[in-house]
Amino acid sequence: MSPAPRSVKIKGTGSYTPQKALTNNDLSKIVDTSDEWIFTRTGIKERRIAGESETSSSMGAEASKRALEASGLSPEEIDVIVVGTMTPDMPFPSTACLVQEKLGIKNAVCFDVEAACSGFLYILEIATGLLATGRYRNALVIGSEKLSSILDWEDRTTCVLFGDGAGAAVIGFAEQGDDSKIIDFRLGADGSKADMLHQPGGGCAIPPSPASLDGRQHFLKMRGKEVFKQAVRVMGQAAVEILEQNGIESDQLACVIPHQANMRIIESISSRLNIPIERFFLNLDKYGNTSAASIPIALDEAARAGRIKNGDTILLIAFGAGLTWGSALVRW
């Protein structure tokens, strides 16, 4: 009889956010808005903006150093690096390869995944699956975004929502007798709604040209009301489905870490799951929406603040462009 497969667990987390904070009052000097207008509609008070020399790879590397330190592993022990980002340093090579070089990791499989704000859950499942093959021991999964580089700072409906930052996690096999594990995932996508949230220019469909630049095609575009409705629906659905398929009641969850996009969306999810908002970990007010970095930054802050303890069951849920969505259950 072959031995039972070993569980994969999160061994350490880390995060990095730029020093520069851009407050709502600061934004009111750039576009026609106000602190009251932004906060009452989103729950955001400020967001971090990366410096000119900071990139998705440099921020991802800083978050990774902290995750490695927390895990007790050395760079030499990492076999896989996966980065979730929609703001790569460049179209190619992958941001993961650039992070690899910055960390001095020699023998690792490296690649990027683009699933927008759902990116961290996508790469977490991919990396967990790679470890399950038995060919790899430890993986570094990173969500990193420099969204300030693709924002239209003349569009008050979008530029107030997003920020920069990175979060990372080291995953590997649990030792015998350790009940910590990544329990399950539920991912989904609906490409028929791709135009609700996208960046039209920059790819092969609309390559850079004077016309695409003049038409502001290289900035993020979003139909906010439609995105809001879809986010509430599919995040709630992904959460309900993963709890049901694993026989877990909502009151068994010690903490819910949602994608930090909009406080009204999170409150709607709280109501649908019948989980008090106090059990949600929130840092939206400090960072805004950091896309694929959102969940790993919150996960790291929750762990370091003692909001997650050994043996706790936690739920991660996300929604993003694509449209994409996902949920994950983790026993800490």
List, as one string, the DSSP characters of 174-201.
PPTT---EEEEEEEEE-GGGGGGEE--S
Both 70 and 142 in one domain: the answer is yes
Residues 186 and 322 both lie in one domain: yes
Does residue 153 sit in the same domain as residue 94?
yes
Q: For residues 12 and 75, what is the distance between their CA atoms, to the nearest angstrom?
A: 13
Residue 6: predicted pLDDT: 86
pLDDT at 2: 46
Q: Which residues are catalytic?
A: 117, 259, 289
Q: Which residues pair with 222 in a beta bridge?
A: 197
Looking at 155, 173, 191, the residue that finishes a domain is 173
Q: Which residue stretches of the chain have pLDDT < 50? A: 1-2
Q: Are 48 and 203 in contact (CB under 8 A)?
A: no
Give the model's pLDDT for residue 4: 56
The CATH number covering residue 116 comes to 3.40.47.10
| 79 sits in which H/E element | none
**325: closest CA among 152, 190, 201, 160?**
190
Q: Which domain holds residue 163?
A: 8-173
- Of 141, 173, 205, the position where a domain reaches its end is 173
Do 237 and 305 fall into the same domain? yes
Structure token pair of residue 293:
């970095």
Domain count, the chain: 2
Q: Are residues 169 and 185 part of one domain?
A: no
Residues 186 and 327 grouped into a single domain = yes
320 neighbors 118 (Cβ within 8 angstroms): yes
User: What pLDDT is recorded for position 1?
Assistant: 42
